[in-house]
Structure 1
Amino acid sequence: MKYIIALITVVFFLFGCQEKEIKQVVYEGTAKQAILDNMLSRRAIRQYTAQQVSREQLDTIMKSAIFAPSGLNKQPWEIRVLQNPDILKEVNQRFLNFAKGKEFQGSAARYREAGFSIFHDAPTLIVIATDKSNPGAKLDAGIALQNILLSAHAIGLGTCPLGTLVGTMNLPENADILKLLNIPEGYEVTINVALGYPAETPDAPIRYTEKVKIIE
């Protein structure tokens, strides 16, 4: 498996006085190995540049999403792609309103910090809602989610699934947001995804191989 390491952009942001170089691996090899490598090299991205995702890129990602398999081909999802700055700001504010006085794990624990963004200042937010009457809908949405993550990574973009935002989106007092997004009655938000150009190259966290058992 051969790689060409190509410096595609250098993004400057403050970590004390350090400058961080952002690199991307450009793959050269067989299509089969490229697919496997894409799955193994994808990471959750929590720092993004301000560059917006193009419509062409979104079309590629959304086509990958809706081609995900689903039980009986019900496709029990509704997907919304948000790039409007005012709507993104409002969604973030709704989370901040919900978060007051609460404690969270992970990056959401920093919500009290000035300028905090629950979607990591990504320029695009994907909202996936599912049919509440379909018992397999959340599983189907998970498969579509993985197609989104992998297709985005394949075209040089970064993503981060956002579970913490789900509860906020489904609150009765935020029903106006779902109405604004034209999410049908009987659907609920299942997962959200931050999407944009990565401004970091995180290492892979530990994987627990002992959780896999082969029974022969």
Structure 2
Amino acid sequence: MPVTGENKVIDTILNRRSVREFTDRPISKEEINTILNAGRWAPSGLNNQPWRFAVVRNPETIQKLSECTHYSGIVAGAALLIAAFLDTEHSYNRTKDIQAIGASIQNMLLACCGLSLGAVWLGEILNQHEKVNSILGCSSKLELMAVLAIGEPAPGKRTSTRKALPELVFEEKYGQKWEE
């Protein structure tokens, strides 16, 4: 149920969709910095900012990374990849740090939407984390959390559905139904 014009933040959250097909337009350095800044301003426990990001624009590197996932077409078709890592040397609580990186990734996805760019959060590539780290020359202290494939969206309509709130929410005690 998209909201229109009432609140830009809520509009962006409700209208963001995963984009898996892109044009070949390159992403500018200014756009990349906007996306990365959105990611770094996510909340983190003790403000430890446990995330590290790898920016990948080289077509050869993108191709190599595309071979690390079943979603190779999505990765190969993106103009930009951002790999998000947990810096294990700066971690103080694994659960909280992973949650913080999730918030950081969501901030970047919302920034992409706000810039009229498309993006998708890829997790299946985690199965090949060692190969990804090797391709990117990363230290073993960096633990891969996700890769974002980013680009100008190819034309097409994107839709999604969500469960109704009463299916997801209970009031105070499990079993007490939530009324919208």
Residue 176 of structure 1 is matched in structure 2 by: 134
Task: State which of 34, 56, 66 in structure 1 corresponds to 2:8.
Answer: 34
Tell me how far apart the structure 2 counterparts of residues 148 and 202 of structure 1 sit (CA, whole Å).
Answer: 19
Task: State which of 143, 162, 174 in structure 2 corresponds to 1:206.
Answer: 162
Residue 185 of structure 1 is matched in structure 2 by: 140
Give aligned pairs, total. 165
Tell me how far apart the structure 1 counterparts of residues 133 and 34 of structure 2 sit (CA, whole Å).
Answer: 30
Retained in 2: the 8 A contact 1:82–1:125?
A: yes
Retained in 2: the 8 A contact 1:64–1:148?
A: yes
Give the residue type in structure 2 aligned to 1:125: L
Deviation at 1:140, TM superposition (A): 1.0
Deviation at 1:154, TM superposition (A): 0.7
Counterparts of residues 1-216 of structure 1 (less than 5 Å): 29=5, 33-95=7-69, 108=70, 116-119=72-75, 121-132=77-88, 134=91, 135=94, 136-168=96-128, 170-171=129-130, 175-179=133-137, 183-199=138-154, 200-209=156-165, 210-215=167-172
Retained in 2: the 8 A contact 1:47–1:120?
A: no
Give the residue type in structure 2 aligned to 1:128: A
Tell me how far apart the structure 2 counterparts of residues 185 and 154 of structure 1 sit (CA, whole Å).
Answer: 34
Which sits farther off after the overlay, 130-139 or 63-72? Answer: 130-139
Retained in 2: the 8 A contact 1:123–1:195?
A: yes
Q: Deviations over 1:137-181 (max 9, x none)?
A: 21111010010011110110111000011121x23x5542241xx
The alignment partner of 2:73 has SS state of: coil
RMSD: 2.2
The alignment partner of 2:75 has SS state of: coil
Tell me how far apart the structure 1 counterparts of residues 132 and 153 of structure 2 sit (CA, whole Å).
Answer: 30
Give the residue type in structure 2 aligned to 1:176: S
Q: Which has the higher strand share?
A: 1
Aligned-pair identity (%): 28
Where in structure 1 do 4 or more consecutive aligned residues deviate above 3 Å? none
Alignment gaps of 5+ in structure 2:
174-180
Which sits farther off after the overlay, 193-202 or 131-140? Answer: 131-140
Structure number with bigger Rg: 1
The alignment partner of 2:143 has SS state of: strand
- Assess, with a 3 A threshold, how the Cα gap between structure 1 residues 132 and 126 changes in structure 2: closer, same or farther: same
TM-score by length of 2: 0.82
Retained in 2: the 8 A contact 1:82–1:124?
A: yes
TM-score by length of 1: 0.69
